[in-house]
Amino acid sequence: MNRLRSLDPTVVVYLALVAALAIGALLVSTVGRNFFSAGNVRDILTGMSVLGLVAIGQTLVVLCSSLDLSVPVVISLSSLLAATTMAGDPARIVPAVLLTLAVAAAIGLFNGLVVTKLRVNGFIATLGTGLIVKGYLDTQYKGTAGTVPWEFQLLGATGLGPVPVSTILMLALAALVWFVLARTRVGHQMFAVGGDPVVARLSGLHVARPVIVAHVVCSLTAAGAGLLLASRLGVGSPTVGSQGGYDLLSIAAVVLGGTLLLGGRGSVWGTIGGVAIFAVLDNVMSVMQVNPFLKDIVRGVVIVAAVAVYTRRTLHAHRPRFGAGGPTVDGPLPGPADGAPATGQLPPAEEVAR
Amino acid sequence: MRRSPREVALDLVSPQRAVFLLLVVLLVAIVVVNPSFAEPGQLMRFLQRVAPVAIVAMGQYFVIVSGEFDLSMGSLVTAQVVGAGVLVGQDGSRTVPVLALMLAFGVLVGLVNGLATTFLRVPSFIVTLGMMLALLGAVMFWTGGAATGNPADEFRQIGRGGWREVPVLDFVPYAVVILVGLLVLALWYTHRPAGKLHVAVGDNVATAHHAGVRVWWVKTRAFVISSLSATVAGVLLVGYAGVHPSVGRGYEFTAITAVVLGGVVLGGGRGWIVGALAGAVVLEALFVLLNYAGVPSTVRSSVQGVIIIAAVAYSALDFRRRRSGPATTSPAGGDAAPAPGRGGDTSTTSPAHSGA
Amino acid sequence: MTTAPVLTARGLTKSFFGVRVLDEVSIEVRPGEVHGLVGENGAGKSTLMKILAGVYQPDDGEIHLAGEQVAFAHPIDAMHAGVATVFQEFNLLPDRTVAQNVFLGREPRRRGVVDVREMARRTQHVLDELGVTSVRPRDRVGSLSVAQQQVVEIAKALSHDAKVISMDEPTAALAAHEVELLYRIVRSLAERGVGVLYVSHRLKEVFDLCDTITVLKDGRLVSSGPADELGPDELVRRMVGRSIESYFPGPLEGTERGTELLRVTGGGNAWVDGIDLSLHAGEITAVAGLQGSGRTELAEAIFGIRPFTRGSVEVGGRRVRVTSPRHAARLGIALITEDRKATGLSLAQSILDNVLLVIRGVFPRRTAHVRREADALMARLELSTDRLDREVQLLSGGNQQKVVLGKWLATRPRVVILDEPTRGIDVGAKVAVYDVIRSLAREGVAICMISSELPELLGIADRVLVMRDGRLVADLAPSATEEEVLRHAAGAEVGA
């Protein structure tokens, strides 16, 4: 347990992923299938790409101790904008993509401004934005619309060997976001603002800027997911985002990947690991022909259990002066009494206690 | 305590009370657009439709004011609705035992949410998200994804029936009686010692713990209350909306929205349950108004989104004003506050967990 | 030592709520000098430091830095100007590395990209200059010890090219062997020509390190001069010499030392050890000790927040294991915690809700009864507000503290532990708190009071226990002098 404590959270996520792979391979082999066959690997990677895209953006938002619940409608809107603008014409792919990204960026900017300038809690702000966009979607589109040209459909359909292009794009984006977090000032500021806004302010940072950037990027990655879905479906759909439940699932993947829901700690690669765990679980259950509805139960249990393990790991001990004479050196307030802080940027009083 | 009209007026526009002003404005507007709305029978039918959402909002109030979230309410409503449909079937005599079973299941869900949040220290956002997925999956697995027909009429009467031809009021739906009964019960509870502890825990967990409050039990109680309220809403919805796996979808967000509209602060420690109730009625009234005004149903969610953001931004504005008041930033009394610059604007962000 | 001062402050004055906490104080810090700033609690040291750090703006007076007049509107202004402050509560992000913390907000860049190597190199350079080998640029701050985190704070200050670094009680949270490291760092800072303003209660440190000592008392400057012209006894006399006796008229008539209500034998846990303590009805037992000596942890052990894991506890003659605050409250123990905003109050709730908190949580059946008596209770505490439905965060510090007291008095406790009950409150409220403590003693309550203010402790207590490094090291009569207490608290070698 002590060794586990000192490990980097991302390493723990990948250990969990390896365990999931091993157990998955074992289970799959009992029904006489090969888990690591090219086809199956492609299935898993394909399953990762859409949620992965959304979760990459969500990671930034959660790091800044905000949330983005508007991703499903951004995904749907993006798929529609792309498909209707392209209207089956390969020449219009580029303008359609640019338009989609521009609209998504505007939505993200709106989210970021509402959160930072109007000081509306991220949960409510993005819920509201989601409703606003949903109204537009419901009014404007009665069902699937537009057509995606065959060239654009290739994006979702081709691959290099067993690795789909969409997954490569997703991983490239993850690398880019990793670079932003590790090597740009705004990335560093995201950790600071999410970790401790007071320290951030005292260090002379503009607290609003990283939060706005995170929201914009999150909307952009959601738009990317929407584009990908449009390319797979061949059309735009006003419900493709909400049906996938991408808002909550992406948050779950982020937290599963070791990012603190309160912000300030986390990594993109952890998130990718979390997404991979979901994809492996899904895949194993599909191959085993588990009832699709049971999958949700397993997902729910896995999320809670995984986060419970992380929380156990990361309790900071109040530095003892004397050797422990008993069992109660684990945390400042032993027992469950101090509860767990809720979410997002809600002030957790117990954090201040010591 | 006598108060000047000015004070009363200020109170009305304060974010805690603004929801009531908004409600009055909406109701007046509805009556202007459609005078028949003011007839008792119409009003009662309106309240009947509000009842499930309002009850869910009242349950969510206890969770939020205790500093937590319950995202599992919507799927619990669905689970209860579908469960009732399957279990009651066409046998009206099963109504009472099934009701008892549903309540017991509600308690169980609340206990699991509460205990996982407090003992496993998993953020309630995640716990109840997991519960939401698991419940939905379980319901669909159990029913095979298809809703089974409507249950016996005895059961459905709870949600759709009522006393007819009542003097003055014309029609008194059972749902409204249940809503009023629960409101009275909730008001009574919030004035009891045990009820007051929810707000105290939501305001400052550490203080409550140091005062000997069993924080885990207070929070768990809140989750049990919210699950029970989702159960009651489910019972009403079986009658009102019928049995379908989509019934209850999105209720958790509607409830949280209603609670926040009602001036309750996410993160806990502030808010009045009647505000949460009023928030739910405002959301419904808004729909009715947009409906009467001929606004296409599809635009309504946009209007709702704008109103939510505006209302919460308004209350954030007010908090800033309060926080920058003279006494609260008292440095003389604030020696213990970590580091400088804690003043003004900590309302949307978590405070320092400084070194050491 | 005739170089021109790098920092000069003249006539600094600051009032809070009409109370003058800093009165025309002037101070000069020269480059390469370690300048000790001493004084009792409430003498104005913190306020002075915070003004120099840009946290507060002075009502009057001016600050010159290297000859130029400056005004700091924000802490970052002070930092940029070259005045860095290491507060007791660190401004660090525990989840980030040392280098990331040191360069937060001004990361070195090359072609727009943060140059991680350069950042690590420059951090290492600063650490090398400080002679620190135990901290590496890539270490996560949260994994470091308190002493090492302090090093990071100092490195941050140095990397700003600070001309003056002020440190607030830098050794308060350090273990004995870690103090040496700090000494080395402070000396090397001075050698580099930085002016160090060193605030400390520990006289040994002040004499070990400082070239110049400035003494503050009651917000005024008492003296400022070379350290070698002062002896420890003279220094203590200058810090203390004030007549506070008038606040402490002695025990109330009819107060008797009664039976033993609480007894700890050989108590210990990870933070305190070898605790033998006996609290009697009607007796006021004071616990003195420096910050970080384990006083608060002792109170928390008795109260079940961090329970004893060794030894035994008897309450009212019965052997018990107090495992939670709830348990303690049931046994008739009350704890007025040190940090009232963090652990004493529900700030957004009304006075009444705060007063009823323990009753509602632990003794719900008594709620109606206590509620009826709430007015009388607040009158006894001289709480000067007409409305019990006022939000507590709108009250002054003194009134807030009375609310905390009221919360516990409502439970009619038999043993009351008070941890720094008069911190940050005005004199009038202090006197009210003393009165309440005395009247509780007369009613047969056993009192244990922890305080950093020695005159207060000696004025009110029937006996004074002194804590050091987690242990009770002395049991003194109230006739003991402040010097004696300090000697025990700071270690025997001081003042000898």
- Closest CB to A297 among B118, B134, B312: B134
Q: Which fold has domain C7-240?
A: Rossmann fold (3.40.50)
- Residue B196: list chain C partners with CB under 8 A: 353, 356, 360
CB within 8 Å: B327 and C330? no
- Closest CB to A131 among B203, B302, B319: B302
CA distance B66 to chain A (A): 10
- What is the rounded average pLDDT of the residues A284-302? 87
Q: What integer pLDDT is reported at residue B325 of this predicted model?
A: 36
Q: What integer pLDDT is reported at residue C41 of this predicted model?
A: 66
Q: What integer pLDDT is reported at residue B318 of this predicted model?
A: 58
Q: Is B352 on the interface with A (CB under 8 A)?
A: yes
CB within 8 Å: B316 and A299? no
Q: Is B120 on the interface with C (CB under 8 A)?
A: no
pTM for this predicted structure: 0.84
Q: Do residues C12 and C58 make contact, with C-beta atoms less than 8 angstroms apart?
A: yes
Q: Do residues A228 and A53 make contact, with C-beta atoms less than 8 angstroms apart?
A: yes
Burial degree of A159 (CB within 10 A; 0-12, 13-18, 19+): middle
Identity of residue B8: V
Tell me the pLDDT tens digit for each residue of A306-325: 888 877 665 444 456 665 44
Identity of residue A296: D
Q: Is B25 on the interface with C (CB under 8 A)?
A: no
Provide the chain C residues 36-75 that lie in CB contact (below 8 A) with chain A.
74-75
CA distance A179 to chain B (A): 26
CB within 8 Å: A351 and B350? yes
Determine the longest span between alpha carbons in chain B, in angstroms: 70
Q: What integer pLDDT is reported at residue B328 of this predicted model?
A: 29
Distance CA A55, CA A271 (A): 7
Element (H, E) at C446: strand C446-450
CA distance A279 to chain C (A): 29
The residue written with tokens 């509620």 in the block is C371
For chain C, percent of residues with pLDDT exceeding 70: 93
Count how many residues are written for chain B.
356
Tell me the pLDDT tens digit for each residue of A192-236: 999 998 888 888 888 899 999 999 999 999 999 999 999 999 999
CA distance C148 to chain B (A): 10
- Closest CB to A301 among B134, B204, B319: B134
**What integer best gives the mean pLDDT of chain A?**
84
Q: What integer pLDDT is reported at residue A326 of this predicted model?
A: 36
DSSP letter for each residue of B232-293: HHHHHHHHHH-S-TTTTTTHHHHHHHHHHHTTPPTTSS---HHHHHHHHHHHHHHHHHHHHT
- Residue C426: list chain B partners with CB under 8 A: 332
Q: A interface toward C at CB cutoff 8 Å?
A: 6, 182-185, 187-189, 191-192, 195-196, 198-200, 202-205, 260, 264-265, 316, 318-329, 332-335, 337, 349, 352-353
Which of A343, A345, A351, A354 is most worth mutating to test chain B (most B CB atoms within 10 A of its CB)?
A343
* Statement: residue A161 has pLDDT above 60: yes
Strand pairing class (C83-86; C164-168): parallel
Provide the chain B residues 158-217 that lie in CB contact (below 8 A) with chain A.
201, 203-207, 209, 214-216
Tell me the pLDDT tens digit for each residue of C32-51: 999 999 887 667 888 899 89
| Coil, strand or helix at A72 | helix
- Closest CB to A130 among B305, B319, B350: B305
Q: What integer pLDDT is reported at residue C125 of this predicted model?
A: 92
- Dihedral sign, Cα of residue B285, residue B290, residue B291, residue B292: positive
CA distance A194 to chain C (A): 10
Q: What integer pLDDT is reported at residue C496 of this predicted model?
A: 36
- Residue C267: list chain A partners with CB under 8 A: none
Distance CA A263, CA A341 (A): 12
Distance CA A297, CA B141 (A): 9
Tell me the pLDDT tens digit for each residue of A76-95: 999 999 999 999 899 999 99
Chains in contact with B, where contact means 3 or more Cβ–Cβ distances below 8 Å, are: A, C
Q: Do residues B60 and B252 make contact, with C-beta atoms less than 8 angstroms apart?
A: yes
Q: C416: which strand partners?
A: C334, C447
Distance CA C61, CA C45 (A): 16
Give the CA count within 13 Å in the CB-facing half-sphere of C36.
25
Distance CA A150, CA B84 (A): 48
- In which residue ranges of chain C is pLDDT below 70? 1-2, 17-18, 41-42, 173, 175-176, 240-250, 384-386, 427, 492-496
CA distance C33 to chain B (A): 26
Q: Is C85 on the interface with A (CB under 8 A)?
A: no
DSSP one-letter code for C472: E
Q: C12: which strand partners?
A: C25
Q: What integer pLDDT is reported at residue B342 of this predicted model?
A: 29
Burial degree of C294 (CB within 10 A; 0-12, 13-18, 19+): buried
CA angle B316, B278, B185 (to 5 degrees): 120
Domain boundaries, chain C: 7-240, 246-490
Distance CA A82, CA C246 (A): 82
- Residue A197: list chain B partners with CB under 8 A: 346, 349-350
- Residue B194: list chain C partners with CB under 8 A: 360, 364
Q: Is B351 on the interface with C (CB under 8 A)?
A: no
Q: C472: which strand partners?
A: C467
Q: What integer pLDDT is reported at residue C243 of this predicted model?
A: 44
Q: Which two tokens stand for residue A222?
A: 């959601």
Tell me the pLDDT tens digit for each residue of A333-353: 333 333 333 333 333 333 323
- Dihedral sign, Cα of residue C153, residue C155, residue C161, residue C166: positive
Element (H, E) at C261: strand C260-268
Distance CA C123, CA C136 (A): 8
Neighbours of C88 (CB within 10 A): 20
Chains in contact with C, where contact means 3 or more Cβ–Cβ distances below 8 Å, are: A, B
> What are φ and ψ of residue B172, in 5° steps?
-115, 100
Q: Which two tokens stand for residue A262?
A: 């309160």
* Statement: residue A188 has pLDDT above 70: yes
- Neighbouring residues of B8: CB distance < 8 A, sequence distance ≥ 6: none
Distance CA B260, CA C17 (A): 36
CA distance C150 to chain A (A): 15
Q: Which residue of A has its CA nearest to C268?
A: A325
Q: Check: CATH 3.20.20.70 for C246-490? A: no
Provide the chain B residues 165-194 that lie in CB contact (below 8 A) with chain C.
192-194
Q: What integer pLDDT is reported at residue C176 of this predicted model?
A: 65
- In which residue ranges of chain B is pLDDT below 70? 1-16, 147-149, 318-356
Q: Which residue of C has its CA nearest to B1?
A: C387
Identity of residue A97: V
- Neighbouring residues of A277: CB distance < 8 A, sequence distance ≥ 6: A13, A16, A17, A20, A256, A302, A306
- Examine domains C7-240 and C246-490 and report if their fold is the same: yes
Higher pLDDT, A283 or B334: A283
CB within 8 Å: A195 and C107? no
- Closest CB to C105 among A195, A205, A326: A205
Domain boundaries, chain A: 45-268
